[in-house]
A = this chain, B = another copy of it.
Amino acid sequence: MSTLISSVDYLPGISIDCVIFGFHDNQLKILLLNFKSTDWLAVPGGFIKESENLEEAAQRILEERTGLTNIYLEQFHVFGDRNRRDNEVMKSAMAAGGNIIGPDHFLMRRFISIGFYALIDFTKATPTPDVHSDTCEWYDIKEIPTLVYDHSLMVTKALETLRFFLDEKLIGFNLLPEVFTMNDLQNLYETILDKKLLRTNFQRKMLSLGILERLDKKMTGAANKAPYLYRFTGK
């Protein structure tokens, strides 16, 4: 029996794809789905209901993949090249999943995709495959295999946008737990920007922003001075 989605409930010709960032073990990661019974990897996506605004649709898609609500997200680019999707990939992927779709099926038509990137707390997410995938897993951003369609480009563009707005919009905190050390924060920045930062100056700059609340010290058990914990207060 087919679980293939139909076109009746969704806006035609438009999809949403989400580059979902998480941070763990000093690695920046994204969530990828694999099409059933294939090696093809793709960024999680979905369609827009007649009743939804764009961001609502993106939030729904994100919740379905992560179990989280109220996620930080931003649209970053629209991907609409004429031949951005290879329909043979789609057809094979659907066939492997047990769904036969003809050339007139709406999934075979041209699609324009609105790219969103999302920043979530890795420790709180529960990656969940969709009906077309076997797995939904985290991949280190430095080791992303080739993705289907233009999804590799999407990831590149999302990462560029994240880097660009990291300081501007102070969005990095969405990738950390509620409470963190200055070292955690610096590791996050260094990983995203892919360069080393000077510890002392990083601390000075972050503290000068006036967006951090200093909490108790964190007794790590290590043989050294215990660092303070901080909470992001958003000014």
Cβ-based interface call for A14 (8 A): yes
Are A112 and B14 in contact (CB-based, < 8 A)?
Answer: yes
Cβ-based interface call for A81 (8 A): yes
Are B80 and A48 in contact (CB-based, < 8 A)?
Answer: yes
Name the interface residues of A21-74: CB closer than 8 Å to any CB of B. 48, 50-54
Total copies of the chain: 2
| Beta-carbon nearest neighbor of A56 in chain B | B82
Count of interface residues, chain A, beta-carbon cutoff 8 Å: 19
CB proximity of A10 to chain B, nearest CB, Å: 10
Cβ-based interface call for A110 (8 A): yes
In the complex, which residues of chain B have a beta carbon less than 8 angstroms from the beta carbon of A77? 75
Are B54 and A81 in contact (CB-based, < 8 A)?
Answer: yes
Cβ-based interface call for A13 (8 A): yes
Are B114 and A78 in contact (CB-based, < 8 A)?
Answer: yes
Identify which of A14, A51, A75, A114 gathers the most chain B CB atoms within 10 Å of its CB: A14
Identify which of A14, A75, A77, A80 gathers the most chain B CB atoms within 10 Å of its CB: A80
**Chain A residues engaging chain B, CB cutoff 8 angstroms:** 11-14, 48, 50-54, 75, 77-78, 80-82, 110, 112, 114
